Structure formats: structure tokens, C-alpha cells
């Protein structure tokens, strides 16, 4: 495997094989599978789970990793192309990325969306600029509109819990958050659930419709898998018979890149905090999913997060297992 960038780069059987490997590595550890291998980890955006789970994954497979991020004691990193570097930053990403990559056998890169220009973010302009500097296998650890490791882990979580694929009702719901957040998780999630063959509903208020290319990609996945995809503002309609609600906030797409307009837009929807009444007409065992981190009492009520519906810790642990499978295929005997 030369890169792990998008679940759409794989077919259904290949994803199934990765998930089987993730489960096998959990049940039958292979502590020498990546002995002597090094994973370089470049974080241009913050993280808890991705940072820790990639390092844990490498350790459990017998390899090692190192982390570079702008907050560390490194020379300031310049990312703008064509800039005269007479300011604070003493190192350009054009040298930093290939240097970091050269120390490892594979590299993981995280770079959130700039959220200035929707077309640039949808085209993954910044992320492609970074990966074009790498001549090693690489993993997308979250880019402008993708988070494939999260989606692989979420797929595994639903498999683990027996959430049906065909006929399974999956609601991706926007939730209130004080900040405008990236589209990476909602974009990856809607595609993942559609690819899994589920009946997917995107529940979101006016102004927060997912961009057409994201929906079109998910539609295409649903067509191939036998799933369905729709969107609505009607919570009761969306939650009817739901097996899963996956909550996530994202930027107002009607005014993408305009922070003040986004604030005005989202301020109307403080009450989009997932709580028990949301589940009134869902299945009794409807699960609550979230990629974390999550703001308690803002995105979701404590009683949901602390109650039996919540599977967020299961999802987070599956990050490590899913990534072990990816790294095994990328650098180990199963590549």
C-alpha cells in the first residue's frame, strides 16, 4: 500500500480485508511485525487521539515513531509558496517535509483545512502540496475534507457492535459548536456510511448543507453499495428507526470562510445539542457516535455521552487497531 488517503481508493472487499486484519491484530498480537520500521508523524494541526494512537500502533507492532509539530522546539515553519522568508520562520515546509520523510519508512501527515476558499479545500490543495514532497508511503491523518483513519475505525466500530450495513439507518447530524469546524469528518463519515451500504441521512439546519461534491461522492458510493443518501432539516424524520446518530459540527457552507457570517449563522442553532428527546422515534438501541474531542453540554448532553448509547471510547480505541492494519499493509509482511 503506497498511500492511505481515502476509503474511496479501496473497494468494499479491500476495506473488509483491512478490518479483518485490524481484528486479527487485536486478538493475535504481532509484536515483531514492524520491527526496525520507523513512522514519521507530521502534525501541522492539533491532536490527541491521532497522535497517541499512531505511536501506540507502531509500538504494538514492534516499530517506532517520532513526531514533529510547529509547537515543538523547531525553527518556525513557513508553509506559503513563493514567499521571501525574511520573517520569523526559518524553515520552509518544502525542505522540512522531505527531510522528515527521509528518516522513516512511511509518513503520516495532518493538516486541517485553511477554510478560506471552499474550492481549494475541496480540491485538497494544501494537502496535495505536502504529499507531493514525499517519496515514501504516506497516511492521511486528517486533511481538509478527509479523515480516512477515523472512518475506518468507525466502520469497524459498527461491525463490532453488529450495526447492520444493508438496511442500517445512519444519521450524520450537525451539532452546535462555538467555532467553525472543518468538513473533514462529516465528509469522510457520510462517504463511509454510504460505502458500507447504509441508509444515510444528513440532518443539518439551513446554511449547513454539505457541499455538492461531498454529497455526490457519497451518492456514488451508495449507488455501488446498495445504500441510500438523503438530507433533511427535520429531526424527527431523520431519526425515524435510526440505528446510529453520528454527531459533528461543521462550518456554515453557505458563507464558507467568512468567520463573522458563520458565527451569525450558527448562533441560531444553540439547541442542536444531542439529548435523549432526539431518540424518541429512533430504535431503542440507537447508538451515539462522535470522533472526539467533543464539548459536553454543547454538542451532546452528559447523559448521552455517559450512558449506554455512547460508543465514543470504542471508536477511539479502534483508531489504534485500524491504523495497525494500515501500517501492517504499508510496511509489514502483508503489504
Residues in contact with ligand CP by the rule CB under 6 A = 47-50, 142, 150, 291-293
Query: If you compute the radius of gyration of the chain from its CA atoms, what whole number of angstroms results?
Result: 20
- Residues 6 or more apart whose CB falls under 8 angstroms from that of 147 comprise 140, 184, 185, 188, 291
Smaller CB separation from ligand CP, 175 or 238: 175
**Rounded to the nearest whole angstrom, what is the least distance from the CB of residue 284 to ligand CP in the complex?**
28
Smaller CB separation from ligand CP, 48 or 99: 48
**Rounded to the nearest whole angstrom, what is the least distance from the CB of residue 293 to ligand CP in the complex?**
6
Distance separating alpha carbons of residues 196 and 243, to the nearest angstrom: 14
Smaller CB separation from ligand CP, 5 or 265: 5
**Rounded to the nearest whole angstrom, what is the least distance from the CB of residue 323 to ligand CP in the complex?**
11
Distance separating alpha carbons of residues 88 and 186, to the nearest angstrom: 35
Smaller CB separation from ligand CP, 30 or 142: 142
Phi and psi torsions of 91, nearest 5°? -135, 135
**Rounded to the nearest whole angstrom, what is the least distance from the CB of residue 290 to ligand CP in the complex?**
9
Smaller CB separation from ligand CP, 108 or 197: 108
Smaller CB separation from ligand CP, 48 or 267: 48
Nearest to 235 by CA among 280, 267, 295: 280
Please say whether the beta carbons of 160 and 222 come within 8 A.
no
Cell of 304: 448521552
Cell of 132: 507531493
**Rounded to the nearest whole angstrom, what is the least distance from the CB of residue 47 to ligand CP in the complex?**
3
Burial profile 221-259: b = 16 or more Cβ within 10 angstroms, e = fewer: bbeebebebebeeebeebbeebbbbbbbbbbbbebbbbe
**Rounded to the nearest whole angstrom, what is the least distance from the CB of residue 35 to ligand CP in the complex?**
26
Amino acid at each position: 500500500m503506497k498511500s492511505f488517503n481515502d476509503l474511496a481508493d479501496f473497494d468494499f472487499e479491500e476495506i473488509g480485508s483491512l478490518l479483518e486484519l485490524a481484528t486479527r491484530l487485536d486478538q493475535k498480537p504481532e509484536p515483531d511485525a514492524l520491527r526496525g520500521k520507523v513512522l514519521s508523524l507530521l502534525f501541522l494541526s492539533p491532536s490527541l487521539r491521532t497522535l497517541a494512537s499512531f505511536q501506540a500502533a507502531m509500538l504494538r507492532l514492534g516499530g517506532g515513531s517520532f513526531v514533529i509539530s510547529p509547537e515543538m522546539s523547531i525553527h518556525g515553519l513557513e508553509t506559503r509558496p513563493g514567499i521571501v522568508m525574511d520573517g520569523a520562520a526559518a524553515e520552509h515546509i518544502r525542505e522540512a517535509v522531505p527531510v522528515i520523510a527521509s528518516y522513516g519508512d512511511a509518513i503520516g501527515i495532518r493538516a486541517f483545512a485553511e477554510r478560506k476558499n471552499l474550492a481549494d479545500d475541496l480540491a485538497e490543495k494544501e494537502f496535495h502540496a505536502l504529499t507531493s514532497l514525499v517519496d515514501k508511503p504516506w497516511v492521511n491523518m486528517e486533511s481538509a475534507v478527509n479523515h480516512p483513519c477515523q472512518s475506518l475505525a468507525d466502520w469497524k466500530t459498527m461491525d463490532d457492535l453488529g450495526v447492520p450495513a444493508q438496511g442500517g439507518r445512519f444519521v450524520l447530524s450537525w451539532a452546535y459548536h462555538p467555532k467553525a469546524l472543518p468538513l473533514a469528518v462529516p465528509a469522510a463519515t457520510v462517504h463511509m456510511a454510504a460505502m458500507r451500504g447504509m441508509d444515510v441521512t444528513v440532518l443539518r439546519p439551513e446554511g449547513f448543507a454539505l457541499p455538492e461534491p461531498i454529497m455526490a461522492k457519497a451518492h456514488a458510493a451508495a449507488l455501488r453499495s446498495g445504500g441510500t443518501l438523503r438530507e433533511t432539516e427535520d429531526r424527527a424524520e431523520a431519526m425515524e428507526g435510526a440505528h446510529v446518530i453520528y454527531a459533528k459540527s461543521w462550518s456554515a457552507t453557505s458563507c464558507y470562510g467568512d468567520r463573522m457570517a458563520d458565527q451569525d449563522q450558527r448562533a441560531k442553532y444553540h439547541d442542536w445539542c444531542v439529548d435523549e428527546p432526539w431518540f424518541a422515534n429512533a430504535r431503542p438501541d440507537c447508538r451515539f457516535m462522535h470522533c472526539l474531542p467533543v464539548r459536553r453540554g454543547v454538542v451532546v448532553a452528559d447523559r448521552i455521552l455517559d450512558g449506554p448509547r455512547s460508543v465514543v471510547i470504542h471508536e477511539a480505541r479502534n483508531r489504534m487497531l485500524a491504523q495497525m492494519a494500515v501500517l501492517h499493509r504499508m510496511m509489514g509482511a502483508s503489504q
